[in-house]
Every structure is written in structure tokens, then in C-alpha cells.
Amino acid sequence: MIKITLEEFTKLYDPIPRYQKEYKNAEKGLSLLTPSSFVVPELGGFLLDSYISLLEKYLCIEDEDIGYFVYECNDRPGSVTVNVGKENEKTYSISNIEELYFYLTETSE
């Protein structure tokens, strides 16, 4: 990963949770309009995937770690556990943007 500060990383990451919040609001609105149906809004999913890919390329992240974090933590509380090393020598528990940043900076050295 290229060297950036936590503040810079947070600014770059910020559009992702904003999109997720807007998506959930749209989902809630659609469920109010159609309470007997399960409706999945197709609202910017391709754009989110593209943004994550561009962010990972810009930061020189090779393992799609940001995408994994976004999609694994999206709808469930708790954290994502990542094992690093040939024999899983180190385990990281990631539940927020700060922990993701520190995981990325530590594992990219």
C-alpha cells in the first residue's frame, strides 16, 4: 500500500459507507411501498464495485482487502478475521476503518 495517513485513508474510504447508508434508505423505502414483496434496489452497485477497485489500484493493494472488508462487514455486526502468513502466523480482527487501515499498513511492508 502506498504511504498515506489515516486521515487521508478515511477521506478516500468515506464514499463507501455513505453509499451503503443511501442504499439501506432506498431499500427501506421500497419495502414500505411493497410490504408483501422482497425488493432489491439496483442502485449503484456497479459504481461501488468500480470505486473499490480504483481505490485498491490507487493504493497498490493487491489482495482485494478493501472489497472483502466492505462486503463481509456490510450487514453483520462484529469483525472480519484475517489470517496472514503461510501458516496463519498472525491474525487480525477488523471491525472499523481504523483497524482496516492499520491492517493494510502493517501487512504491506
| Phi, psi of 93, rounded to the nearest 5 degrees | -110, 120
Residue 75 per-residue DSSP state = S
Judge contact between 79 and 95, C-beta under 8 A: yes
pLDDT value, residue 76 = 61
Average pLDDT of the chain to the nearest whole number? 83
Q: How many Cβ atoms from other residues are within 10 Å of residue 36's Cβ?
A: 5
Judge contact between 80 and 25, C-beta under 8 A: no
pLDDT value, residue 87 = 65
pLDDT value, residue 10 = 94
Domain residue spans of the chain? 6-107
Which residue shows C-alpha cell 414483496?
37
**Could you tell me which residue, 8 or 109, shows the higher pLDDT?**
8
For residue 41, pLDDT over 80 is answered with no
Give the H/E segment covering residue 17: helix 15-33
For residue 73, pLDDT over 80 is answered with no
User: Using 50, 70 and 90 to split pLDDT, how confident is the model at 70?
Assistant: confident
For residue 8, pLDDT over 90 is answered with yes
Decide: helix, strand or coil at residue 91.
strand
For residue 19, pLDDT over 70 is answered with yes
Q: Is the dihedral of CA 107, 56, 82, 103 positive or negative?
A: positive
